[in-house]
Amino acid sequence: MDATALFKFSSGLYVVSARAGEDVGACVINTGLQLTAEPLQVEVVVNKQNYTEGVIERAGHFALVPITQEADMPYIGRFGFRTSANFDKFGGIETRETILGDPYTPACAACVVACEVVQTLDVGTHMIFVGEVKDAEVLSDAEPLTYAYYHSTLKGKTPPKASSYVAV
């Protein structure tokens, strides 16, 4: 079997974030997806070893932001290659809060949706969180960043904790 065949799948890149008390987690994912229109639901797939996974579980809500093409590799590195366990990902950048209390940055953000977790599914290495959208706001007209653009133009790599990681 050639697992790299799945590189042909299309997706965007997102930052999912949450706050549970003083605890904040945020990470890049390529697994944000709208599930239904009524009720408005989305899902995110988060590795159990990512700090953000536990924060979403404890918070019971999350913010989801599609990243725009304005993002550069330092931006991706901040959210996608470092861990909230020992690094304040919102330190030194403009940060806002959703109505559910989750932090996000409007920088390189096409929109923001505030979600309450209504279902979780354990899929082994990752948890799927289904979120009902409680608030949504368009933040920019800039093009959302696709995973293909990330690979072809930014020459970005996929770290082992991403759902789509294939050791080649």
Ligand X SMILES: Cc1cc2nc3c(=O)[nH]c(=O)nc-3n(C[C@H](O)[C@H](O)[C@H](O)COP(=O)(O)O)c2cc1C
Cα atoms in the 13 Å half-sphere on the side-chain side of 59: 31
Binding residues for ligand X restricted to 29-88, rule: CB under 6 A: 29-31, 45-47, 50-52, 76, 80-85
The smaller minimum CB distance to ligand X, of residues 122 and 141, is found at 122
Three-class DSSP category at 121 = strand
What's at 56, amino acid-wise?
A: I
What phi and psi, each to the nearest 5 degrees, are found at residue 148?
-65, -45
- Distance between CA atoms of residues 114 and 16, nearest Å: 10
Binding residues for ligand X restricted to 4-23, rule: CB under 6 A: 13
The smaller minimum CB distance to ligand X, of residues 7 and 81, is found at 81
What phi and psi, each to the nearest 5 degrees, are found at residue 27?
-155, 160
Give DSSP secondary structure letters for 19-31: EETTEEEEEEES-
Q: Which of 12, 17, 18, 25 binds ligand X (CB under 6 A)?
A: 25
Nearest approach, Cβ of 38 to ligand X (angstroms)? 26
Nearest approach, Cβ of 61 to ligand X (angstroms)? 16
Q: By CB under 6 A, which span of 35-43, 93-101, 106-114, 156-164 interacts with ligand X?
A: 156-164
> How many residues contact ligand X, by CB under 6 A?
27
Q: Which of 41, 95, 120, 158 binds ligand X (CB under 6 A)?
A: 158
Q: From edge to edge, which strands make up the β-sheet containing 111-122?
A: 23-29, 14-20, 61-66, 111-122, 126-138, 41-47, 33-36
Q: Which residues bind ligand X (CB under 6 A)?
A: 13, 25, 27-31, 45-47, 50-52, 76, 80-85, 150, 156, 158-159, 161-163
